Chains A and B, each alone.
Chain A
Amino acid sequence: MVHLPPQIDQNASAPASENNMAHSVDENASHEIHLPRPTVWPMLVGLGLGLIMFGFLFWRGSATEGLGLGLMGGGGVVLLLAVGFWLSTNIRARVRDHAEPLGGSEAAKFAMWAFIGTECILFGALIANMLYLWIRDTDVNHALHNLEALLIVSVNTFLLLTSSLCVVLGLSAIQRGDRLGLARWLGATAVLGAAFIGIQAFEYSKLYAEGITLVSDRFGSGFFFLTGFHGLHVFIGVLWALVLIAHTLRGGFTQADHMGYEVFGLYWHFVDVVWIFIFTLVYLL
């Protein structure tokens, strides 16, 4: 176990008295930060993801399909095991050893904002790709820009906007100390997210019926990769919301400490923001 000296509390106004020194020594004892042990799991997560990526490349190759599938399967197993052990290590560290991340729970929010910054780059590139492929008066364009397609995607847009509202209303609830209210709003969020994915699957099936597929042309690849990747984010968000419902019902969040929920909220709203741009720049333009 690593014992680090506490960080300087910026909010604390140091009393300028003679026994200042003795006072702060006492405080050191009670504000000790317990860091979790160094862990190998993040590196194995990276290894698993790397194997999946290389497996995908080999799988697309003509003579290396089997090798590719094997690599992807192996990478998937490594990834799942590493994520599982990483999570259980963290939970054990928090529950048994009372370890806290350096910088307190605010560090989680910082990490989420940093992650969102990188996600901007990823989705920015995917959306830009669609804008460069965008040509008016093609079959593909007409398939996306008819009244029925617009109706479907508008419903989906309102589902996501409403789910974001549910997330912030859940935040209001837990800020009042209403844990059951939070669980209800989380449930509504998960249902709306699941409905979004269902409608997207319906939209995909219609496009496939019209001959627009992942491999039909560059437009199809770009469209399905962008919207599919966004849908994957929604799916992960729904799973996250379900986990948080269980956590909440077991007394997980309190009026004073609900940073885990705030971090989930940041993720969910960001996925909503990405959809705002996809809706306008891919469907409406």
Chain B
Amino acid sequence: MEHPHTPAEHTRPHPDYLRVFAWLAVFTVIELFVSFVPPELDSIKVPLLVIFAVLKATLVVLYYMHLRYDNRFYALLLLSGVFFALLIGRFLPLVQK
């Protein structure tokens, strides 16, 4: 079976996977240290942890899942899922009562 392959596939930019992994590891270690911050400082601790989680997830999606170099429509599919997830998260307390 013949499979047409685009020449772009051979020239498309190739992320440095090891560097991405190193950043993911560094962020995880920082997160672990932040988690030991006492609960009195929750107003700093919680946003900081959320930011690091989002950063790590973004790195994986952009470079490991190649969304940065791929069809933008896939990003739309992903973001629409994230949108509905946040929507459910926002309204969950109403149904849990």
Partners in one complex: yes
**B-side interface size class:** 35 or more
Complex CA–CA separation, A129 to B94 (angstroms) = 12
Q: Is the CB of A172 within 8 A of B14?
A: yes
Determine if A161 and B5 form an interchain contact, defined as CB atoms under 8 angstroms apart. Answer: no
A273 touches B82 (CB 8 A): no
Is B39's CB under 8 angstroms from A136's CB? yes
Tally of A interface residues using CB under 8 Å: 52
B50 at the binding interface (Cβ < 8 Å)? yes
Query: Are A257 and B5 in touch, CB under 8 angstroms?
Result: yes
Q: Which residue of B lies closest to A105 (CB)?
A: B3
Q: Is the C-beta of A210 less than 8 angstroms from some C-beta in chain B?
A: no
B17 pairs with A121, CB closer than 8 A:
no
* Chain A contacts with B in 254-272, Cβ cutoff 8 A: 256-257, 265-266, 269-270, 272
Q: How far does the Cβ of A101 sit from chain B's closest Cβ, in whole Å?
A: 13
Given the known interface contacts A280-B49, A284-B49, the answer about A172 and B17 at a Cβ–Cβ threshold of 8 Å is yes
A280 to B33, CA, bound (A): 12
Majority secondary structure of chain A interface residues (helix, strand, loop or mixed): helix
Q: Which stretch of A13-21, A40-48, A85-93, A108-116 is in the interface?
A: A108-116
Question: Scoring B residues 19 to 57 as 1 if CB is less than 8 Å from chain A, else 0, what string do you get?
Answer: 001001100100110110001000000100110110011
Chain B residues in 8 Å Cβ range of A117? 77-78, 80-81
- Secondary structure class of chain B's binding surface, majority of residues: helix
A285 interfacial contact with B, CB 8 Å = yes
A-B contact number at CB 8 A: 122
CB distance from B50 to the nearest CB of A (A): 7
Q: Which residues of B contact A154 (CB under 8 A)?
A: 28, 32
A136-170 CB mask vs B (1 if < 8 Å, else 0) is 10000000010000100010011001101101110
Hey, which bits of chain A sit against chain B, CB under 8 A?
A: 11, 98, 100, 105, 109-110, 113-114, 116-121, 123-125, 127-129, 131-132, 136, 145, 150, 154, 157-158, 161-162, 164-165, 167-169, 172, 256-257, 265-266, 269-270, 272-273, 276-277, 279-281, 283-285
Closest 8 CB pairs of A and B: A124-B85, A120-B81, A117-B81, A128-B89, A280-B53, A284-B35, A113-B74, A256-B5
Mark B residues whose CB is within 8 Å of A: 1, 3, 5-6, 14, 17-18, 21, 24-25, 28, 31-32, 34-35, 39, 46, 49-50, 52-53, 56-57, 60-61, 64-65, 73-74, 77-78, 80-82, 84-86, 88-89, 92-93, 96
